[in-house]
Amino acid sequence: MANFGYSLTKSSRIDLNNRNIEKWNRLVELEPDVLKCMACGSCTASCTAGKFTKTSLRSAILYLQNGQEKEALEYIQSCLLCGKCFMVCPRAINTRHLLLSISKIYSNR
Amino acid sequence: MRERIIGGYDHFVLPFMIGMIFILVYLLIAMIKVIMSLPASDRKKLALSLINPKIMYKNIRDIICDCLLHIKIFKRNLLLGYMHASIAFGWFMIIVIGHIEVMLFVPQRNGSLYYPLFYRFFVAEQNQTLKGAVFFFLMDFFLLVILSGIGLAMYKRIRSRALGMRRTTKPCFADRVALYCLWSIFPLRLLAEGFTAGISGGSFLTKPTNMLFASFLGNDMNIMPTWWAYSTVLGIFFLALPFSRYMHIPTEAFYIFLRNAGLKIHHPRKGVAEAEIYSCSSCGICLDACPMNVQKKNLPYSSVYFIRFQRRNNKKKINEIADKCLMCGKCVALCPVGVDSCGLKQAQRAVVNNTLPYDYKFLGTAGHTAAAPQNDDNGILYFAGCMTHLTPAIIKSMTKIFEAAGEKYLFADKDGGVCCGRPLMLAGKTEAAKEVIAKNTQNIMESGCKTVVLSCPICLKVLKEEYNLKGITLLHHTQYINNLIQQKRLVLNKSEESFVFHDPCELGRGCNIYNEPRNVLQSIGQLKKAGKEKKESICCGGSLGSLTLNYNDRVKITQESLNILTYNNPDKIVTACPLCLKTFSDQSARPVVDIAQTVAENICNGCIKQ
Amino acid sequence: MNNNVIIIGGGPCGLEASAQLHQMGYNVILVEREPQLGGHLAKWDRLFPEGIKAKEVLDQLIANINGVKYFLNTEVKSINQLDKEYNVILSNGITILATAVLMASGFDLFPAEKKEEYGYGIYDKVITNADLENYFNTGKDRRITAAPKRIGFVHCVGSRDEKAGNRYCSKVCCATAVKQACEAKEAFPDAEVFCFYMDLRMFGRGYEDLYLRAQKEYGVRFIRGRVSEVAEDINSQLIVKAEDTLSGKPIKVTLDLLVLMAGMTNCQAGVKVANMLSLKKDDDGFFTCKDSILHLQQSDKKGIFYAGACTGPKTLPDTLHEARAAAIAIHNYFKERK
């Protein structure tokens, strides 16, 4: 059977089928606030570590929703848990617990 | 006095002896276990403390004040204090005097465990002497003291409010067994001694009891059953002791030695922690103290239950409570035993969170935020802190104050800095915190400044406790401003405006700074009292301490805290922490300002002599 | 039964309802606590989307109430429900028995100083949407000295914000911001203008065209990210921090003027009156309508009606619709009772 289409490199498209839904559900159970994010970027903008690194909770949540777990962790690994994001979040997301919970569920300890 | 029972023994002492030997062996093993689980350096520290006269004096003083007299509870509520002190001190005196009696009158029985306790069963009065009468009187007197305390304790079970407690703990099964034993020990002793008072003699309490019973009961028949009952209840009490809240009686004394030796919690369940866990008397003072308990649903998250689950080793509950706590420290400040439950919770968090991965390599490359030092020896480094950048009013006011005082200063984190590490510590990521602390220490030392002024008490606490900043003075801006006023480098206008001061947890209970902000405010306007203040101040609800408390529950705490602050209807609420400021101003109908703002607004520009 | 209707609030809503009810033959008494009629409209310069002068609209609304009794500088001192009517005592000493009461109390602007991180009242170069309208109207504001080179607009100040206690969208700020951004560019042609938004809600007719015009004709730069922090440098210029969420990078920009789009909250003076009648409020602070689709003008109390922004943020046309709808609802109420 002929195989059409180009497949030299892996598709760079995000494949939502590959999401780990079981892990995501566990995260939601541990910190339901993860569902509240409206991606305003306040957390990233005020991040203490963000001045030096690409720390961004908003991005981490987005990447997790897209099933890109490794990338998501890169966005929070330098977090100092200072809590500024909790203070500025307009949806009052419990950001520090969310950060810890993502770490707990997704990182290989 | 002469011995009435030949051999000085009767079978009824057996229940007591079984209980007593059990508890002594149990305590010995437990003590060895705790000492063995201490890190070697801590063991050395403990040993050294035992030969240090200063520390030994402190140990003895603490044991008398805390374990016997319960001075801390007296300060809180007179009746509650009396209840605790009467039982503890009374019982202690009865034991001591019992031994003295044995020593004086039947010296051949010295060293017997049971003899002093059942003295009046074993002896018969030959002739009355003044010395004997004094001892009889003292024994009866302390028995009466204890009985009055027991009476209060029973009353407290029905109406705790009368003893200044809104809420009390729910006792578990072993607690109940021990409690009912404790309640019955002394009435039974009175009965037993009453029935034998005709033979052994007695004083104002036991003699009339003897006569009263003789009139309708006939004493001789009742001697043995009451002594048996007395001994049995004592035995059961000792058997139940390790599994009940009353374990705190022996543990507390031991814990005082560990505490005064300067030992810190190194593990949430071992060593010092274990001693603390068993020192908790489950008195429930922390229930009323906890700010979360403005909502009844949070009662199970109180420190007393955290410790109860620690004893039972219930991992799920332990973590749940540890993560919820605001770490405001009020329960620690009010705890009559001084159990550092926040420290225990922090250690528990560390067990879970210290293994979480992190990457702080950027700290190595993060350049200095401040320019090279251009300061003389007294140069001031201003460290605003992360949160303060969200309350620009504080930074702006501090700039104005520095200018007015003609102070040369370096603004360490003008363009944002590295977090102080306290939030990481609170979250239990203590290893990660060390990296941050090292970086900041290096920056501060390299600045060449000899004084660091901080606007955030959260930073101040960690700088004081975890940083190694030799030769550098750390001041919160309240202290700094207070110094400026006293040195007349800052003169303020005084008006009729009234203020109430909110003690931020980390500034008050955390760093013991209570008077400076009040001095400053008194030089600006009228200082009004809050419903609860200083050590008893209530968290604003914004604390970084809690990991899991959600926003709606926090708002409830904020509102309660505001209600208590505005008790005397002040014009303004003044605080000294950016986090408190932001948390309160979201909810408050009244203006909320930082102390630096009020000061900056009231600087008398013409008044300062240059 | 008397013919009296008392209307609380002399803004556009109260004015329009007065005019309609007066025409229907009711005896209308309009109560306004400020010294002039018009509410927020009297302080506004131009209206979105086309930029019609607020004064022209207000003049027309006031002309329409010709013959209506109104009291300025007057507040409701007490209001009591009697058997069939309401006994209203005004602060000027007048007592009125009214069969129907219309709450047209409108909104308060969110106090922008509550969002401390934006520095309103602390930094000299931070103003609100109302301040800017006032500047356009009068040409005067002590904070706008030299022509600003860079101007920023912050959407959603005190709206969609749990911390501010206002979870809702204030509906008009997006369009107002885009309108003001264009006007600012007109006033200061050399300026660069930035709008920081979370979501642009340009829902009405002509609004999308306004958005397009802002991009095409005025070159306004739209940045999708909420401003989280504002600092001041030594020249008292503002350093604004946000995330450009589309590129996923934190950004900062130095501005000469920052305009905060303060949202709407229920009017506190109106709430005071409503409390005298124990009228219900939702947890967003606005009054609760009898139901949210069929009876928007009715309250849970007979004879008390609502119109305009006291039941949630509304645009000016929406408010005027509600004023007319309330007039009909009141008319029907009188008919039923006869």
DSSP C94: -
What six digits make up the tokens of C78? 């007490």
Asked if C250 is an interface residue toward chain B (Cβ–Cβ < 8 A), one would say no
The yes-or-no verdict on residue A94 having pLDDT over 70 is yes
Amino acid in the structure at residue B6: I
Q: Which of A57, A56, A44 is nearest to A94 (CA)?
A: A57
Rg over CA atoms, chain C? 21
Beta strand pairing status for C192-197 and C126-128?
unpaired
Longest alpha-carbon distance in chain B: 95
How many angstroms separate the CA atoms of C233 and B274, rounded? 53
d(CA B392, CA B390): 6
Q: What is the C-alpha separation between C106 and B386, in angstroms, rounded?
A: 39
Alpha carbon separation from B350 to B269, B306, B429, B432, B461 (Å, rounded) = 12, 16, 6, 11, 19
pLDDT at B523: 93
B111-120, B355-364, C179-188: least confidently modelled range: B111-120
Compute φ and ψ for C87, nearest 5 degrees: -100, 115
At B606, is the pLDDT very low, low, confident or very high (cuts 50, 70, 90)? confident
**For position B374, what pLDDT does the model report?**
54
Comparison of pLDDT for C140 and A3, the residue scoring more:
C140
pLDDT given for residue B372 in this prediction: 45
Q: How many CA atoms lie within 13 A of B243 on its CB side?
A: 11
Q: What is the 3-state secondary structure (H, E, C) of B325-345?
A: CCCCCHHHHHCCCCCCHHHHH
Q: Which chains share 3+ C-beta pairs under 8 angstroms with C?
A: A, B
- The β-bridge relationship of strands C100-103 and C52-53 is unpaired
Please answer yes or no on whether B365 and A52 come within 8 Å at the CB atom: yes
Summarised one tens digit per residue, pLDDT across range B169-225 is 888 889 999 999 999 999 999 989 888 888 888 888 888 888 888 777 766 777 888
The secondary structure of residue B160, as a DSSP letter, is: G
Q: Which chains touch B (3 or more CB pairs under 8 A)?
A: A, C
Mean pLDDT of B406-419: 89
Average pLDDT for B450-462 = 96
pLDDT at position A39: 96
Of B427, B37, B27, B466, the residue nearest B266 (C-alpha): B37
Give pLDDT tens digits for B69-101: 988 888 888 998 999 999 999 999 999 999 998
CATH class of B362-483: alpha beta
Q: State yes or no: pLDDT of B9 exceeds 90.
A: no
Give the pLDDT confidence score for residue B198 in this predicted structure. Answer: 82
| pLDDT greater than 50 at residue A7 | yes
Q: Which two tokens stand for residue B33?
A: 């276990």
Tell me which of C108, C116, C120, C157 to substitute to probe the interface with B (most B C-beta atoms closer than 10 Å). Answer: C116
C4-106+267-337 shares its CATH topology with C112-262: yes
In this complex, which of A46, A77, A88 lies closest to B357 when CB atoms are compared?
A77
Q: Is the pLDDT of residue B2 over 80?
A: no
Query: Which residues in chain A touch residue B579, judged by CB atoms under 8 angstroms apart?
Result: 83, 87
| Predicted local confidence at residue B111, as pLDDT | 80
* A contacts of C251 (beta carbons < 8 Å): 45
Residue A17 parent element (H or E): none
Residues C220 and B402: their CA atoms lie apart, in Å, by: 40
One-letter amino acid identity for A21? I
pLDDT band at residue B318 using 50, 70 and 90 as cut-offs: very high
Mean residue pLDDT of chain B comes to: 90
Q: How high is the pLDDT of residue B376? A: 56
Q: Give percent of chain B with pLDDT exceeding 70.
A: 97
Burial of C54 (0-12, 13-18, 19+ CB in 10 A): buried
Report the alpha-carbon angle C140-C141-C145, nearest 5.
100
Of A81, A86, A87, the CB nearest to B429: A81
Instruction: Please tell me the predicted confidence (pLDDT) of residue B119.
Output: 87
Query: Over pLDDT 90: what percentage of chain B?
Result: 70
Label residues B166-181 b or e (16+ Cβ within 10 Å = b): ebbbebeebbebbbeb
Fold of the domain spanning C4-106+267-337: FAD/NAD(P)-binding domain (3.50.50)
Find the residue in A nearest to B320 (Cα): A30
pLDDT the model gives residue B575: 97
Contact of C241 with C41, CB cutoff 8 Å:
no
Distance CA A63, CA B464 (A): 39
Domain spans, chain C: 4-106+267-337, 112-262
Predicted confidence (pLDDT) at residue B373 exceeds the cutoff of 70: no
Q: Can you tell me the mean pLDDT for B302-330?
A: 94
Stretch among B70-74, B260-264, B467-471, C5-9 having the lowest mean pLDDT: B70-74
Q: How far is CA B421 from CA B431, B438, B595, C124, in A?
A: 10, 10, 24, 33
Position B57 pLDDT exceeds 60:
yes
Collect all residues with Cβ–Cβ distance below 8 Å to B40 and sequence separation of at least 6.
Answer: none
CATH of B492-607, one of 1.20.120, 1.20.1740, 3.30.70, 3.40.50: 3.40.50
Average pLDDT over residues A13-39: 93
State pLDDT tens for residues B218-249: 667 778 889 999 999 999 999 999 999 999 99
Q: In angstroms, what separates the C-alpha of C165 from chain A's closest C-alpha?
A: 10
Please judge whether A59 and C248 are an interchain contact, meaning their C-beta atoms are less than 8 angstroms apart.
yes
Residue B16 gets the label, from left (phi > 0), alpha (psi -120 to 50) or beta, of alpha
Looking at the domain that runs over C112-262, which CATH code has it been given? Answer: 3.50.50.60
pLDDT < 50 positions in chain C: none
CATH 1.10.1060 fits B251-353, yes or no: yes
pLDDT at A2: 59
Asked whether the beta carbons of residue A40 and residue C225 sit closer than 8 angstroms, the reply is yes
Distance between CA atoms of residues B186 and B190, nearest Å: 6
B126 versus C7: the higher-pLDDT residue is C7
pLDDT of residue B370: 47
Q: Which residues of B touch A96 (CB under 8 A)?
A: 423, 427, 544, 547
pLDDT of residue B369 exceeding 70: no
- Which of C190 and B106 is assigned the larger pLDDT? C190
Search chain C and give the residue with CA nearest B387. Answer: C117
Q: How far is CA B277 from CA B71, B111, B252, B256, B334, in A?
A: 21, 32, 10, 13, 16
Alpha carbon separation from B82 to B70, B149, B151, B280 (Å, rounded): 8, 7, 11, 19
Per-residue burial over B36-58, b if 16 or more Cβ lie within 10 Å, else e, is: ebbeeebbebbeebeeeeebeeb
pLDDT tens profile B143-171: 999 999 999 999 888 888 877 788 888 88
Domain with CATH 3.40.50.1860 in chain B: 362-483
pLDDT in tens, C175-200: 999 999 999 999 999 999 999 999 99
User: Does the beta-carbon distance from B544 to A83 stay under 8 Å?
Assistant: yes
Please determine, for residue B378, whether its predicted confidence score (pLDDT) is greater than 70: no
Considering CB atoms only, which of A50, A56, A88 is closest to C117? A88
Which chain B residues touch A97 with a CB distance below 8 Å? 323, 547-548
Mean predicted confidence (pLDDT) in B290-303: 93
Contact call for A78 and B359, based on CB within 8 A: yes
DSSP string, B332-383: HHH-SS---HHHHHHHHHHHHHTTS----THHHH---SS-S----TT-EEEE
Q: From CA B486, how far away is CA C163, in angstroms rounded?
A: 39
Kindly indicate whether the ipTM for this predicted assembly is greater than 0.85, answering yes or no: yes
B362–A94 C-beta distance less than 8 A: no
Q: Where in chain B is the domain with CATH 1.10.1060?
A: 251-353
Give alpha helix (H) positions in C24-157.
Answer: 54-64, 129-138
Cβ contacts from B onto C, under 8 A: 31
Tokens 């440098």 -> residue = C233
